[in-house]
């Protein structure tokens, strides 16, 4: 088995050269073995005399169903029971685990990656996403060692969680505000466009659907709304339809991007700042999480509104843990993931888009964005660096930089410089270093870019960007 597919917060690789059916079955068996050792599973055995119950689901990729079939075989070989929730957004799988009080879950998806990729996202009881330290390494160890074999195969059943999810949404968000809006929804031919449109329409919203038909070939654009090139059709449609808001989802429904009525993207740090102001207004002193790649706009907004800013490393499992275990109320990543404590603490693009749309309907986008401090912010630059070397290079950069600048090292190395900052980190999903920087003035912005290029040039990395 290719061990490089086991990453910081999920399992992901190219199908079938890196991740195939045999691997999926082995991982299923290993994951179930891990779940047998959790408190939730032990309580189920002691209280009810039942084996653990594990939820499975998947996205619309062309190889997802094949991988899922072998995944299920691996899980049930341990004696664990499986409930198959079919094709659904990743957040709905997490919701199913939390709502139905199951012992764990696996969704077959490569999220926003191109069509040749697939992967597995793992969660334990309560929909708690697993990271390398909290479970993924253990699953790899079981794959490499000995996994449990049950006396008999576990039961396999099929279920649907959509109606439960829609009811839950209606108890958390006043959908009637949506009747004031016209929105364009770009589903990216992924798994959640039609469901999102249905929920918006249930609130009386005028919805224009764009690429909401599920298609694992992703024929119109890659299922990643954070790449500006993937938003062009959505921007055009917002202008043509004179819509109040454009909403773009990724392939599995855990990240989202927004377009304003002027056809321009609303940056994720502005969205999180808006969410933060609203949260703090309702709960003064609220603790709000942002990742190390986020603009200083977010930190300034949280502090200026009377909240407590909390910085985290990148990754849904790491950020969710801040909400579940550190008493935080809201979180967001620069990559368009938003986490709400009231929604079990996981990242859910449909939930976040409904929240944002209702705020726009109540207050107007101009009112929401005024007084938010802005900086000159670079889009992430990804510089190719193979998986074998990228982490070592980052460690060397930490040594290079900490003697020159004040640094933060919770995820790569983030250096504070006069009038700005820059971050160099190893991507957890692709063979690359992710680079971002920010400054108050264009002169300082260009100066910081030059500093970064000098830093990475000594390691033979591309500086032509």
Which residue, chain included where needed, has tokens 């829609």?
A: 166
CA distances from 6 to 2, 3, 140, 177, 426 (A): 8, 6, 7, 43, 15
Q: How many angstroms from the chain centroid is the CA of residue 291?
A: 12
d(CA 423, CA 437): 6
Work out whether strand 245-249 and strand 265-266 pair parallel, antiparallel, or are unpaired. Answer: unpaired
d(CA 122, CA 106): 5
d(CA 84, CA 298): 39
Which residue, chain included where needed, has tokens 């060692």?
A: 145
d(CA 203, CA 201): 5
Q: What is the dihedral of CA 146, 151, 152, 157, to 10 degrees?
A: -70
Among residues 77, 111, 273, 276, which one is catalytic? 111
CA atoms 219, 222, 224, 227: torsion sign: negative
Which residue, chain included where needed, has tokens 């859910």?
A: 348
Residue pair 206/182 in contact by the 8 Å Cβ criterion: yes
d(CA 364, CA 65): 42
Asked about 321 being catalytic, the answer comes back as: no
Q: DSSP strand E in 28-158: where?
A: 53-58, 81-87, 104-108, 117-124, 156-158
DSSP run (H or E) holding 297: helix 296-304
Give the residue numbers marked as catalytic. 111
């Amino acid at each position: 088995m290719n061990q490089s597919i086991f990453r910081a917060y999920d399992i992901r690789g190219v199908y079938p050269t890196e991740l195939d059916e045999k691997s999926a079955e082995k991982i299923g068996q290993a994951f179930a073995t891990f779940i047998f050792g959790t408190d939730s599973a032990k309580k189920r055995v002691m209280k009810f005399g039942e084996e653990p119950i594990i939820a499975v689901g998947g996205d619309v990729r062309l190889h997802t169903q094949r991988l899922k079939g072998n995944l299920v075989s691996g899980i049930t070989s341990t004696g664990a029971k499986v409930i198959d929730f079919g094709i659904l957004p990743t957040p709905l799988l997490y919701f199913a685990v939390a709502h139905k009080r199951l012992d764990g879950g696996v969704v077959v998806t490569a999220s926003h990656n191109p069509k040749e990729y697939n992967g597995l996202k793992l969660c334990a009881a309560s929909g708690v996403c697993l990271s390398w330290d909290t479970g993924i390494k253990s699953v790899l160890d079981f794959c490499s060692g000995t996994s449990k074999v049950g006396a008999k195969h576990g039961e396999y059943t099929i279920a649907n969680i959509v109606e439960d999810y829609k009811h839950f949404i209606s108890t958390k968000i006043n959908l009637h505000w949506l009747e004031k809006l016209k929105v364009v929804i770009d589903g990216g031919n992924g798994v959640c466009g039609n469901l999102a449109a249905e929920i918006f329409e249930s609130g009386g919203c005028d919805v224009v659907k764009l690429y909401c038909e599920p298609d694992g070939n992703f024929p119109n654009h890659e299922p990643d709304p954070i790449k500006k090139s993937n938003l062009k059709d959505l921007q055009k449609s917002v202008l043509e339809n004179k819509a109040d808001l454009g909403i773009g989802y990724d392939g599995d429904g855990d990240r989202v991007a927004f377009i304003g009525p002027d056809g321009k993207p609303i940056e994720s740090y502005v969205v999180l700042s808006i969410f933060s102001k609203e949260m703090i207004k309702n709960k003064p002193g609220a603790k709000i999480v942002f990742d190390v790649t986020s603009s200083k706009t977010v930190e300034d907004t949280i502090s200026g509104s009377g909240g407590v800013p909390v910085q985290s490393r990148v990754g849904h499992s790491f950020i969710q843990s801040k909400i579940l275990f550190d008493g935080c109320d809201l979180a967001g990543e620069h990559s368009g993931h938003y986490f709400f404590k009231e929604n079990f603490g996981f990242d859910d693009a449909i939930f976040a888009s409904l929240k944002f749309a209702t705020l726009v309907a109540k207050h107007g986008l101009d009112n929401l964005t005024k007084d938010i401090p802005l900086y000159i912010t670079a889009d992430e630059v990804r510089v190719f660096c193979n998986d074998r070397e990228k982490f070592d290079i980052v460690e060397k950069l930490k040594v290079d930089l900490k003697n020159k600048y004040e640094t933060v090292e919770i995820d790569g190395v983030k250096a504070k410089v006069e009038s700005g900052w820059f971050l160099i980190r190893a991507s957890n999903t692709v063979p690359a270093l992710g680079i971002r920087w920010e400054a108050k003035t264009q002169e300082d912005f260009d100066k910081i870019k030059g500093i970064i290029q000098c830093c990475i040039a000594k390691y033979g990395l591309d500086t032509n960007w």
